[in-house]
Amino acid sequence: MVAARLPVEDLEKHPQLARDIKNLQNKTKDLATSLEKSIPVEENLRQGQESINSKIALLKNALVESQVDPAQTSAALELITDEAKKLRDEAEEHKINVAQTNAFVTHDDLDGSLVEQVAELQNDIQEKKRLQAETEKVLELAPKVELISQSLQSMPSQLPTTLDEQQTLLEDMEIKKQNLQNLISSMNDAPAAEELKQKSEWDLSRIKDLLQQLGSAVGDKLAALAAFNAARREAEEKAPDHHG
């Protein structure tokens, strides 16, 4: 600058110029100080973004791997849920910091969608948890359906000949029908339940055929009585034990 080349004695002759130079020096010093303070803040913002992106990737991978071992899936999903919640808080805090304006550095290079990415991840986790709950329901119901199915397979091909035996079998089939209908109604439309539901409905159709044959054998009145007795027995089994 021209003023910088002036001898000191000339500056003394121009006090306003001297003041302007002093002010400029102070402003330059203030600017340098502000820049020095901004550098670590900006570095932290970019490191924070890198950290959040890395954690998103890790949780996505963990979500996929959680399906490998069904026995551990529920526990793994709960852990992933907790970590995703922490990450959501971290991403929201990062977004607030990014929104703070800086006179010296722009934030155009920073990703403003981290919160939305974590929210999408949380939605994926909830969907996995929903599917896992459906799978666990199927695993719970499958042995009960299989028990009924095996009992049907073990039945003799010919119906019993005595009326008492026919009526006993009729009541047993009525109970199995009601149990199977209850099991089917507790299944949802999840893909995991589709195969079990088809098997249950096939067994139910067999039971209904048997009931029709037995009803023809014992007569309408005894068939109605058997259905009533079966319903009463089922209600008694469901009732709490008042004698315990």
Question: Over 58-123, what HEC string results?
Answer: HHHHHHHHCCCCHHHHHHHHHHHHHHHHHHHHHHHHHHHHHHCCCCCCCCCCCCCCHHHHHHHHHH
pLDDT at 19: 65
pLDDT at 115: 95
pLDDT at 58 exceeding the cut of 90: yes
In CATH terms, the fold of domain 13-132 is Methane Monooxygenase Hydroxylase; Chain G, domain 1 (1.20.58)
Q: What is the pLDDT confidence band of residue 113, given thresholds at 50, 70 and 90?
A: very high
Q: For residue 170, which of 237, 242, 92, 223 has the smallest C-alpha distance?
A: 223
Contact, 205 vs 150, CB < 8 A?
no
DSSP for residue 243 = T
pLDDT at 217: 72
**Higher confidence at residue 138 or residue 4?**
138
Rounded to whole angstroms, the Cα distance separating 209 from 155 reads: 14
59-89 tens-digit pLDDT: 999 999 887 676 688 889 999 999 999 999 9
Rounded to whole angstroms, the Cα distance separating 198 from 191 reads: 11
180-236 tens-digit pLDDT: 988 888 887 777 788 888 889 999 998 888 888 877 777 666 667 667 777 777 677
The per-type count for the chain, helices as H runs and strands as E runs, is 8, 0
**CATH 1.20.58 domain span(s) along the chain:** 13-132
Query: Is this prediction's pTM over 0.85?
Result: no
pLDDT at 17: 59
pLDDT at 103 exceeding the cut of 90: no
Instruction: Kindly state the average pLDDT of the residues 171-180.
Output: 87
pLDDT at 144 exceeding the cut of 60: yes
Mean pLDDT of the chain: 80
Q: What is the pLDDT confidence band of residue 1, given thresholds at 50, 70 and 90?
A: very low
